[in-house]
């Protein structure tokens, strides 16, 4: 877990200096598999990625943040507040999934943000001291209720073993309170919710290489990838060009561009906040920072949204959705799907 990335071989544009070492936020393969995660796993032997049409050539410039004048990218996040937490593996994966939900919604309605803290509390795919690229999608795929929304379980940058900041004083176990919660007025206790907005995954997979990345991104949306982050800690702009051999961080790739000098480069959203880089983004030359070694994708199965008519409305204090009460055990994803089907049967559609 305390592995270090190799130093880079060349300086790139906009990178003022390179940190000699940094703690890896990616667990070694043995630790990943000990968590029950399939290394470079796919949800099936033949995935839908394999059947995607591969173009002879792709556009020189393509980004989901400005596709035909529409922004399908969800906001850049910061994994390091309210205290340091090595949860890039959860941030990168969930940001890419949230983008795909926005794509499915045709960029209509308010952005849906998924709960990184729910993943830290329950996902068994890592912690604030590191995780895996493939674990988040594998875990969400296995859960009938998928992942909750961030408004129900805000990010606290804590996991069970964390000692930093406020973490030592909290409970980060996987309980209904730590999946989705709300709190009543002064003097009332908070309650874990039995029904809550959530998103589920239909399929997931692992890919590598520039062509596979372009095919997946162009056809379906952003993806999560590993990267050597040491050379970009002090990145301020331009295109990072360093060659690397190891990765220690997870980001999401939302598109690509080309320039006369460097050729193809990736448009990368990090999870270090908008104060860093180009408002949370970095451009990475194709072949640099080991970015093309390992990527993960997921397809959206379902999500809670007004236009889908699949929300179970809880009271302001959560009293009608209190998970501690008898009978409050209907899986939200299944219930949401049933509500949607009922609405469709009544002529409303989805």
Residues with catalytic roles: 88, 249, 270
Strand partners, 206: 296
Task: Kindly report each contact of residues 106-110 with a partner whose C-beta sits within 8 Å and lies 24 or more positions away, as own/partner.
Answer: 107/70, 107/71, 107/72, 108/307, 109/305, 109/306, 109/307
Cβ pair 300, 274 in contact under 8 A: no
Examine residue 82 and say whether the peptide bond preceding it is cis (omega within 30 degrees of 0).
yes
Cβ pair 92, 134 in contact under 8 A: no
C-alpha R_g of the chain: 20
Cβ pair 213, 253 in contact under 8 A: yes
CA atoms within 13 A on the CB side of 204: 25
Q: Are strands 239-240 and 281-285 parallel, antiparallel or unpaired?
A: parallel
Q: Are strands 249-259 and 181-183 parallel, antiparallel or unpaired?
A: unpaired
């Amino acid at each position: 877990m305390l592995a270090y990335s190799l130093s880079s071989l060349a300086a790139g544009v906009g990178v003022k200096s390179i940190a000699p070492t940094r703690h890896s936020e990616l667990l070694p393969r043995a630790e990943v598999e000990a968590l029950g995660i399939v290394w470079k796993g796919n949800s099936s032997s033949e995935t839908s990625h394999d059947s995607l049409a591969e173009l002879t050539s792709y556009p020189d410039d393509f980004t989901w943040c400005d596709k035909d004048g529409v922004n399908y990218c969800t906001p850049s996040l910061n994994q390091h507040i309210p205290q340091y937490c090595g949860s890039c593996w959860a941030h990168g994966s969930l940001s890419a999934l949230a983008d795909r939900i926005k794509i499915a919604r045709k960029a209509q309605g308010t952005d849906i943000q998924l709960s990184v803290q729910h993943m830290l509390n329950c996902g068994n795919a890592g912690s604030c001291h590191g995780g895996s690229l493939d674990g988040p999608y594998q875990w969400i795929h296995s859960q009938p209720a998928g992942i909750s929304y961030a408004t129900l379980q805000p990010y606290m940058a804590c996991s069970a073993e964390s000692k930093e900041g406020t973490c030592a004083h909290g409970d980060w176990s996987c309980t209904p309170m730590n999946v989705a919660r709300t709190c009543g007025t002064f003097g009332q206790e908070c309650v874990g919710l039995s029904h809550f907005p959530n998103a589920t995954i239909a399929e997931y997979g692992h890919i590598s290489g520039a062509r596979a990345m372009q095919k997946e991104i162009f056809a379906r949306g952003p993806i999560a990838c590993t990267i050597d982050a040491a050379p970009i800690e002090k990145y301020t702009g331009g295109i990072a060009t360093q060659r690397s051999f190891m990765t220690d961080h997870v980001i999401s790739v939302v598109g690509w561009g080309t320039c006369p000098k460097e050729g193809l480069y990736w448009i990368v959203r990090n999870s270090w906040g908008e104060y860093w880089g180009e408002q949370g983004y970095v451009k990475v030359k194709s072949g640099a920072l080991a970015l093309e070694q390992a990527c993960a994708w997921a397809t959206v199965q379902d999500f809670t949204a007004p236009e889908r008519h699949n929300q179970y409305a809880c009271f302001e204090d959560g009293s009608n959705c209190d998970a501690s009460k008898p009978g409050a055990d209907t899986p939200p994803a299944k219930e949401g799907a049933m509500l949607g089907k009922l609405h469709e049967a009544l002529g409303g559609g989805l």
